[in-house]
Chains A and B, each alone.
Chain A
Amino acid sequence: MAINWFKYSAPTTFYGLAGKMIPWFAFSAAILFAVGLYIGFFIAPMDAQQGEFYRIIFIHVPASMMSMFLYMVMAGYAALGLIFNTRLSAMMASAIAPTGALFTVVSLWTGALWGKPMWGTWWMWDARMTSELILLFLYLGFIALHASIDEPRRADRAAALLAIVGSVNVPIIYFSVKWWNTLHQGATIKFSGTSMHIAMQQAMFTMLAACWLYAIAVALARVRSIILERERNTVWIAELPEVKQ
């Protein structure tokens, strides 16, 4: 442990570091979104069964994957915050929650729009869709619980517990199509490989990378505001050029 990890987990250093990184993440996210959309709409061929409608996959699958990944990252930060009592971890967890919730909304919305022409229904209470809806409620519950407790440190701990307990839902979402019979089809991206045409894969993974970069940029921007709010009485905040001016 030669590197002092706690130095980077101190809000003081992280605030400046995040500020420098945000433009890079935002810029590369914008480029990858453009490239992904171009491949998705102009290069990837039509699907044999679903025609043009399948093109919703390029936003639906990345959004769904992000909704699950971000929850795990959020729960991970929440657990770190509980165990090591680091201030920054809890702040990161609260910064990620709204982005995760929005990706879940995008996933449910695009799924409904895909389901209507292909399956014949906007919504079905099958295991995959119901567990994804529960994920949205877990995100909203985390945000609401955190907002309802005035004392920030106590709010962090209570919300962290909810996030950790709720993480049980993520493997349920992923394996739901395997464990039960559902209207939703099985996984296209499996640990053993992907059953998809190569240009379609490129479009989907480009969009996934874009979503990651976007989520990091937005979460970092949000955590900077949270740091400012929570540390406003400290000397280092008073010394910041953007505060001093």
Chain B
Amino acid sequence: MKPRQKRFVFIAVALVGVALAVGLVLYALRGNVNLYFTPTQVFNNEVPKGRSFRIGGLVEEGSVKREKDGLTVNFVITDTHKSIPVVYKGILPDLFKEGKGVVAQGTVENGVMRAEEVLAKHDENYMPPEAADALKKAKAANTADAAAIPSNAPVVVPVAK
């Protein structure tokens, strides 16, 4: 082998080695690199006991309730499988909305999280308000269609047979 090829092989081997090592480290750390736990993980007792941690998910529709002092907020974080109620006293970020992503940090006592910090998580889609409205209407129309189908279904099925 020419020295040039030797160096090339050396670099290739070194790079593969480092990639493998980093891959193994990341695999070992996989739980710790995650920013938050899901409500399902909280129910499965996969969360640290007695110290503060983060829960992430969606704010359940219709769950946000403000108390009379105007600062304390109650809401429910859900991953559509399990949900956790959260109590938080403080200012919420602008993007905090029902049905949108949220990350709350705090401690869980008796199945309720007392949050010290609530952050909003937004999605990766960018569109003007009109397009968002149109999308919402289309979605509503689709659910209306889907609801209409079952009433027709008994009529259709015998014909198919």
Write the residues of chain A forming the contact surface with B, with a CB cutoff of 8 angstroms.
Answer: 45-50, 54, 57, 79, 82-85, 117-121, 124-127, 161, 164-165, 167-168, 172, 179-183, 185-188, 195-197, 200
Contacts and interface: CB of A to CB of B under 8 A. Distances in A.
A48 B35 contact: no
B131 interface: yes
Could you tell me the dominant secondary structure of chain B's interface residues? mixed
B126 A195 contact: yes
Q: Which of B22, B33, B38, B128 lies at the interface centre, i.e. has the most chain A CB atoms within 10 A of its CB?
A: B33
Nearest to A181: B34
Contact of A118 (B15, B120, B130): B120
Contacts of B131: 48, 197
Contacts of B112: none
B34 to A, nearest CB: 5
B93 A118 contact: yes
A188 B128 contact: no
A57 B126 contact: yes
B26 interface: yes
Nearest to B118: A120
Contact of B124 (A126, A180, A186, A197): A186
Q: Which of A46, A83, A161, A195 lies at the interface centre, i.e. has the most chain B CB atoms within 10 A of its CB?
A: A83
Contacts of B100: 49
B95 A118 contact: yes
Contacts of B71: none
A119 B125 CA distance: 15
Contacts of A57: 126
Contacts of B128: 45-48, 197
Given A117-B94, A168-B19, A185 B122 contact: yes
Contacts of A200: 126
Contact of B95 (A50, A181, A197): A50
A119 B121 contact: yes
Contacts of A83: 4, 7-8, 11
Given A82-B11, A118-B93, A168-B19, A48 B103 contact: no
B123 interface: yes
B95 A185 contact: no
Nearest to B21: A168
A127 B4 contact: no
A165 B14 contact: yes
Contacts of B123: 49, 185-186
B140 interface: no
Contacts of B120: 118-120
A85 B4 contact: yes
A205 B85 CA distance: 42
A185 B121 contact: yes
Given A48-B133, A118-B122, 16 more contacts: A45-B130, A49-B95, A49-B123, A83-B8, A120-B92, A120-B118, A164-B14, A168-B19, A168-B22, A172-B26, A180-B35, A182-B35, A185-B123, A186-B124, A196-B127, A200-B126
B33 A119 contact: no
Given A83-B7, A118-B94, A180-B33, A185 B124 contact: yes
A126 B131 CA distance: 31
B119 A183 contact: yes
Interface in B84-130: 92-96, 100, 103, 117-130
Contact of A187 (B35, B38, B96, B124): B124
B121 A183 contact: yes
Contacts of B14: 161, 164-165
A195 B35 contact: no
Contact of A48 (B34, B118, B127): B127
Contacts of B94: 117-118
